[in-house]
Chain A
């Protein structure tokens, strides 16, 4: 069988060295009646056959590339420069473990440090950790972190327009604790922050694409002794004020759109950043700069007394394996695009989305509901949005996300996303198709 090098002759020799008469003997600690006869699975197949089988499944899916694609809603179709997978896919990165032995893991460690630095600057925070499982779990962990940091306060304010799956993950993560969630609508500065409030969560932008500035709400939270958590679109931060410069205490983000493919929802990248004041409460691995005994710069995992392998039941979180490779993709992505490239992508996304909104807003029966948005906006449709999605799908256009999928009573709302991948022609085709679909 593949992947097992030892020959029968070698196995026999090894058994002699061990002093066992058979391999079965090595399993003698397992009670006899619990040994199984065999698994009810087919036997192994060759590389050619396995690949054919996996490929044939892959080919049964609808791909972004083959359609005019305007669906986002938490996962974005963006360009990934060729250098990103080529470098991240190098075996030395791909097949290394967590960098517990720093002398032979400087590649991974320095890359994490560089990612932490770039992500921190993008979000305007002083420190970012080495990743969470995704944006949703990062936000859920941020909520727990804030709740623990504000002892005696058990209220968390959540925007009504928070990605529904994020809200569900928060609910799962917090289920064992006495936390009261209050949902607020509209501008976060008008949310009911009081002396029971541990933190307010602001979605920047929110699930329907609306952007509310963070500053006033952050100030109000701080006056009330609460923390301000911002769930941000990291690409938007290349163009618009970062959450950090507006006073956020904790920022979380989904980093998928920065260099990670859609992959049917994962692996993605949970980004979390915070302030110096809160860093020792932050979950997740963190890399720090230090020196070796000759004074040479090097990098190590640090502040580990927060973590499960040191603190066990008193750890700030149970996270161990994270999304290292997705983080590396984002690190290389940010380095490749750099300041100008990232700005340009954000800029084009913004312009194309606004161009699309202008066209669609001009079609009778449609109205654009978002007033300030980045690359995603909400449109009220003349017919059920799900019907429009189905009709346009037949014509090779995926026009967006019908909100009825999460909220059955929001039938006529379509969330449209435009990225740098969309051309003017595609946008105009979308507008024309929507016009036809209204009849």
Chain B
């Protein structure tokens, strides 16, 4: 923890001194023109800082973060794997940074070829007919995919199909995306083994079903063993299958969702394909589809011709999801990663992600109950029920004192006191051993000195924060 910056850091506004600036600009070499009187702005309340103050300020702020580069960060469902530095170098080439999106296809052939190659590569990894790199994140890919399902249903004349099935272990973006596409959701429960309850699924499949959204492996870290049967049943009932690919890191080079009957799917390139999360984004949420739905993909997408590459709208496209062509800078990073891993590497990614998760599970499951007794995929869910009066939140906060980022907690919603742990393939056995040791010691502390957990973290820049106050009397903007 001594790597963290414990000093109070003032806000940029508090560091401001009238008359300072952090950047020199050339003198204007043209005459001044009058701004129309009714448009002139009087006040501009921005801070005034010199460059060194800015540099120290943001450097110090950065030191108040845990990050992959500084700590083990096993956040379940988020795939916090190492983000290769070479990706940053690849993406910072001026040929990308200074490339204007409207320069015209003929002047951007390198970019179009990269988009095309990445579309093709990801399509192959997923086992689909075509892919679009438009979506800016996973949820954006979901929204695209359910809109594609909607469009296909309408083309069939099936306007009454409004029901989208969502397993109870699903991420919150799944039902929220359905709402944005005008669907109503129905929850499908999980069975004893952590997979979709097949009887409940059959019962839900009626003539109003538009489709199902499936995460595989699901958010319990378990492979949906009945995936083919699920897809078959949904198709028979007249619906489509959406695949949430957030957990694709378990499966690259091992299994192709497209071959199991999934019709349309997104990948989170900011998870599986190693692009950095940037403290919240940007991501990239490629969406791919089989022959049935490919023509509805959002566009434009890159197309290869004999004479070169163009950007085109798929024939029945749902349209644009954002301006221009996706989070291109993120796509460059993902492509660089795809080149370096390749067919053999992607398989090793999945193998090691799954091995690491099972190994870590084997180390801690004697202490932290794991509700489903199966091999996990790239992550597993345990329960923080190690001592009376101690909660998962306390364990998570105590992990910080040991120099580890907590796992995802209280998700999925179907496991009480959930700790969702995803080590990823880029962590070594040594790190996993240390993490397991910390978890076991914390379980010991939970029994002997619970207040140590209740008051944790002890060594972070701030203690536990009052979130109730933050929401009740919101301060969302500096009020100096």
Contacts and interface: CB of A to CB of B under 8 A. Distances in A.
A175 B323 contact: no
Contact of A91 (B69, B143, B255, B465): B69
A19 B359 CA distance: 9
B387 interface: no
Nearest to A312: B175
Interface stretch (B29-37, B234-242, B444-452): B29-37
Contact of B374 (A29, A54, A91, A350): A29
Given A17-B359, A267-B282, A401-B102, A290 B323 contact: no
The 9 A-B pairs at the shortest CB distance, nearest first, are namely A265-B324, A176-B182, A324-B280, A58-B95, A325-B278, A91-B69, A265-B101, A60-B110, A44-B342
Interface string B150-161: 100000000000
Contact of A114 (B12, B63, B102, B475): B12
B247 interface: no
Chain B contact residues: helix, strand, loop or mixed: loop
Contact of A95 (B172, B183, B277, B320): B277
A288 B471 contact: yes
B180 interface: yes
B342 A42 contact: yes
Interface string B334-347: 01101111111111
A168 B320 contact: yes
Interface in A132-160: 133-137, 144
Interface stretch (A97-105, A188-196, A220-228, A429-437): A97-105
A180 interface: no
A308 B355 CA distance: 31
A218 to B, nearest CB: 14
Nearest to B183: A176
A114 B96 CA distance: 29
A107 B179 contact: no
Interface residues of A, number: 205
Interface stretch (B200-208, B287-295, B456-464): B456-464
Contacts of A352: 28, 30
B46 interface: yes
A300 B467 contact: yes
6 contacts: A71-B103, A296-B462, A324-B280, A336-B22, A337-B22, A348-B28
B21 A298 contact: no
Interface string A317-356: 1111111111110001011111111111101101110110
A1 interface: yes
Contacts of B176: 308, 311-313, 315, 317-318
A239 B12 contact: no
Given A38-B343, A50-B336, A101-B396, A107 B254 contact: no
Interface string B422-441: 00011111000000000000
Contacts of B147: 172, 175-176
Contact of A117 (B19, B341, B478): B478
Given A63-B99, A106-B462, A93 B180 contact: no
A46 B341 CA distance: 9
B44 to A, nearest CB: 5
Given A34-B228, A61-B107, A338 B99 contact: no
Nearest to A393: B107
B30 A60 contact: no
A410 interface: no
A169 interface: yes
A34 to B, nearest CB: 6
A31 interface: yes
Contacts of A144: 180
A102 B465 contact: yes
A14 B83 CA distance: 24
B428 to A, nearest CB: 4
A44 B98 CA distance: 28
Contact of B65 (A15, A104, A321): A104
A412 interface: no
B257 to A, nearest CB: 10
B391 interface: no
Interface residues of B, number: 201
B457 to A, nearest CB: 5
A265 B92 CA distance: 14
B32 to A, nearest CB: 6
Contacts of B457: 103-104
A65 B83 contact: no
Given A75-B324, A104-B65, A262-B99, 15 more contacts: A18-B361, A44-B341, A51-B86, A58-B110, A60-B110, A62-B99, A90-B62, A93-B278, A112-B280, A116-B476, A265-B101, A321-B270, A325-B280, A341-B22, A401-B102
Please indicate which of the listed interface residues A55, A96, A122 has the most CB atoms of chain B within 10 Å of its own CB: A96
B40 A240 contact: yes
A351 B345 contact: no
Contact of A355 (B31, B179, B327): B31
Contact of B44 (A13, A173, A314, A342): A342
A318 to B, nearest CB: 4
Contacts of B476: 113, 116, 120, 126-127, 279, 286-289, 302
A58 B279 contact: no
Interface in A65-118: 65, 69, 71, 73-75, 77, 79, 81, 83, 85-108, 110-114, 116-118
Interface string B354-372: 1110110111000000000
B328 A265 contact: yes
Given A19-B362, A313-B178, A99 B102 contact: no
Contacts of A11: 352, 355
B312 interface: no
A21 interface: no
B474 A302 contact: yes
B260 A34 contact: yes
Interface in B54-90: 54-55, 57-71, 73, 75, 78, 80-84, 86, 88-90
B222 interface: yes
B61 A27 contact: no
A62 to B, nearest CB: 4
A326 B136 CA distance: 13
Contacts of A177: 182
